[in-house]
Amino acid sequence: MKQLKELNDRIIRRVNVNLEEFGFDTEDFVNNSLEYDKMLKFYAFYGITSQHPIFFHFRNSNIAGSYFLGQCYVGRSAIYKSDIRGDELKRKGDTIRYRKDVLLVEDERITIRDSLLYKTLVHSNSHNLESPEEFSIHNTISAHYVNIHGSDLQGCFLGPFATVDMMNLHSCIIGEFSYVQAGELFHRKVDPGTVWIRNQNFEFKYKFKKEILDNYVGINSFHQPRGIIYDFVKEREQNYEKLFDVMNLDSIKAPPTSAVNRYAVVQGKIQIGENVLVAQRAFLENAIMGDGSNAQENTYIINSHLSGNCITAHGGKIIHSEIGHSTFVGFNSFLNGKPTAPIKIGEGCIVMPHTIIDPDIPISIPEEHLIWGFIRSKEDIANNSIALDDLAEIRDTLRIGRMTFSGLGSVFIDGFKKRLEHILLANGALFHNGENRGHAQDDQNISFNIIQPYPKGELEGLYPSIRIEP
């Protein structure tokens, strides 16, 4: 236990040095988050498939309750109940485009050093052109239910329910429930509840009102989360306990082209279509998953119907809703319909990351719309959505409610649609006649292996230094 606490103290000091200019101290968050008794008890597990290169190296770390897939190195870090998913890492022989093609000379690897990732998802592949074979997270602390998606981090703190997407951050603080996809940031503090997408052709920005955000995702004086969304997740955490208490569970009925992960919660009346992916730590209850749809990590589909080719991105929550064909529900969105106030989203819509729809009356949004921000009434729809065709006409600046868009709307939409096509392809939604295999097909035959920490002695709480390779 002593060495485990020393490990966390070292992480705190390293992160605080990077954030000194902000006067930000991570100690309260760490000391009030970590449950040392569970860090001694929970096992970690890693997946092996014939489709993914194998390399796992854990050293002087605690990885309690965490899941690893793909090539991973973890050194002097604490990774608690997190998913480190490297099944989309770049491979030797791949090329990346920067003026001229750059050839990768080895497989990409996720490298985590001197960091604490608390109930965090790490996924996709790095977008750092300077080190294309390494997806690196150094001297960083992430709080509850953060998404680190293809983003290299150095000396950062990410607040609860934050998402950083396909970018590089250096000595930054990202506030709770913020979504940032802005290229490269140095020494920046992003306010809570900010949704910010920026590249050379456009910029989208929205910021929640503080009084609204505090009701859904707030933090107390110890940087611990509170609010409606946190309570929603917390109330369902116990449903996962049985998944980790037993080695073998009855498989969920699904077509042979679909995969329902062994570490997903599935209960009530469930209908799984063809080419469907239900990832680890997904939660399905009384749900219909249409052909080609997916429920990614930390998603919740409850009393809802997803038509074909629907994407529910990491952390998305869909309750009492009907989602139209080929609709995207973004990271950490919260579609909180009720039996008397259901939500209906038309086909081909894009629900922006970190959108909150929480109505008291039935809500219906037409097809082919971009949706963002906070929607509680029919009147809110006008200030938080726009037809995709109308946005495509924008060449300068558009302001609707608290949202500002500048640049080329057509480039924004085209880029988004191409990314959604890539997600569908990667997840196996387009599998047909043996072609376009993806996660829904490849994840059917994962072998799960567990490791546990030292239960006593000088190394109590740390995991053995272990190296696993072909």
Q: Which CATH superfamily is domain 252-392+409-443 in?
A: Hexapeptide repeat proteins (2.160.10.10)
Domains 2-226+446-468 and 252-392+409-443 share a fold: yes
456 beta partners: none
What pLDDT was estimated at residue 106? Answer: 92
Note the CATH number of domain 2-226+446-468.
2.160.10.10
β-pair type (363-365, 343-345): parallel
- 240 Cβ contact partners less than 8 Å away, ≥ 6 residues apart: 263, 265, 281
Task: Please report how many Cα atoms fall inside a 13 Å half-sphere around the Cα of residue 172, on the Cβ side.
Answer: 27
DSSP of 212-267: HHHHHSEE-TTS-EESHHHHHHHHHGGGGHHHHH-S--PPPP--TT-EE-TTSEEE
Can you give the pTM of this predicted structure?
A: 0.96
What pLDDT was estimated at residue 119? Answer: 96
What pLDDT was estimated at residue 37? Answer: 86
Domain ranges of the chain: 2-226+446-468, 252-392+409-443
- 39 Cβ contact partners less than 8 Å away, ≥ 6 residues apart: 4, 62, 64, 78, 80, 453, 461
What pLDDT was estimated at residue 470? Answer: 80
Tens digit of each residue's pLDDT, the chain (470 residues): 788 899 999 999 999 999 999 999 999 999 999 888 888 888 898 988 888 888 999 999 999 999 999 999 999 999 999 999 998 999 999 888 767 788 899 999 999 999 999 999 999 999 888 889 999 999 999 999 999 999 999 999 999 999 999 999 999 999 999 999 999 999 999 999 999 999 999 999 999 999 999 999 999 988 899 999 999 999 999 888 777 666 666 667 899 999 999 889 999 999 999 999 999 999 999 999 999 999 999 999 999 999 999 999 999 999 999 999 999 999 999 999 999 999 999 999 999 999 999 999 999 999 999 999 999 999 999 999 999 999 999 999 999 999 999 999 999 999 999 999 999 999 999 999 999 999 999 888 888 888 999 988 888 889 999 898 88
What pLDDT was estimated at residue 249? Answer: 65
CA 173 vs CA 23, 159, 192, 225: distances in Å? 11, 8, 10, 16
What pLDDT was estimated at residue 388? Answer: 98
Cα–Cα distance between 324 and 448 in angstroms, integer?
35
CB 325, CB 348: distance < 8 Å? yes
User: What's CA 412's distance to the chain center, in Å?
Assistant: 21
Cα–Cα distance between 61 and 144 in angstroms, integer?
19
